[in-house]
Amino acid sequence: MKDQDARVFYINRCAAEKYSREELSASIARDDYHHQGSLPNNFPQTLSAARQALRAISAFKDEYLLDFINVEELGVRDEQDVDERVMENAIVQNVRNFIMAFGKDFTFVRNQYHLDAFGEDQYIDLLFFNRELNCLVAVELKKGKFKTAYLGQLQGYLSVLDGFERKPHENPSIGIILCKDMNKSFVDYVIRDYTKPMGVATYKTADEMPENLRKALPPVEELRRILDADTGNNTNA
């Protein structure tokens, strides 16, 4: 049953986003089926429109495979030596791949986005705009395990974004913490008391991609065959 559900998920994804063969393979490698819409978040409590909250939940995943980041190519000994700025630079250099991993309708604004309010200089690691959500999305990179202090820092950034940067026609800004590891139950519990819309996700790099990731999913060629057959049926209709 799970295999059938996965087939339907990837077929719908291909139809909605017009995936190429490369994009379909990347989606399967990222295991999007098991990660879409499952990140710990407080969107239902902080986004007044229920539809906007549902869109936000479906727009993000609880884990991202950043397979374009290779520790050896970055010139460091192991994953623990990769700090936030090294990660950020690697993402900026591969921003198209990052957006592909992050999802549909994201536009990159810039890295180290400068916030200047009340004489306080602050910098958001990565700032995006999402057309579907019609809002700014601030992403903070953390190399270690999730800490509650990250939520307070991000909430401050979102307050300034909404107060000084957000356009009148835009929805409230959303913040995402991208960290190496987290206790999902703990994050779900503590994030609900914050007043700005935020979510927490983890990431893996190419060095950590499990070889059997696709084992439980249908082969790419089988999905292609199903998609081709489905297209033919629609044409005949």
Average pLDDT of adjacent 10-residue blocks, the chain of 237 residues? 64 66 67 69 94 91 76 48 72 78 85 92 94 96 93 97 96 95 96 97 74 46 52 49
Enumerate the domain spans of the chain: 32-212
Compute the distance between CA of residue 173 and CA of residue 159 in angstroms, rounded to an integer. 9
> What's the pLDDT at 99?
80
> What's the pLDDT at 68?
65
For the domain made up of 32-212, the CATH class stated in words is alpha beta
* DSSP states along 177-201: EEESB--HHHHHHHHTT-SS-EEEE
Q: Longest Cα pair distance anywhere in the chain, in angstroms?
A: 65
Residues in the chain: 237
> What's the pLDDT at 175?
97
Angle between the 21-29 and 95-102 helix axes, to the nearest 10 degrees?
70
| DSSP 8-class letter at 106 | E
pTM equals: 0.73
**Other Cβ atoms closer than 10 A to 41:** 27
* DSSP states along 2-57: HHHHHHHHHHHHHHHHT--HHHHHHHHHTTHHHHBT-S-B-HHHH-SSHHHHHHHH
Helix-then-strand count for the chain, H and E: 10, 6
> What's the pLDDT at 92?
79
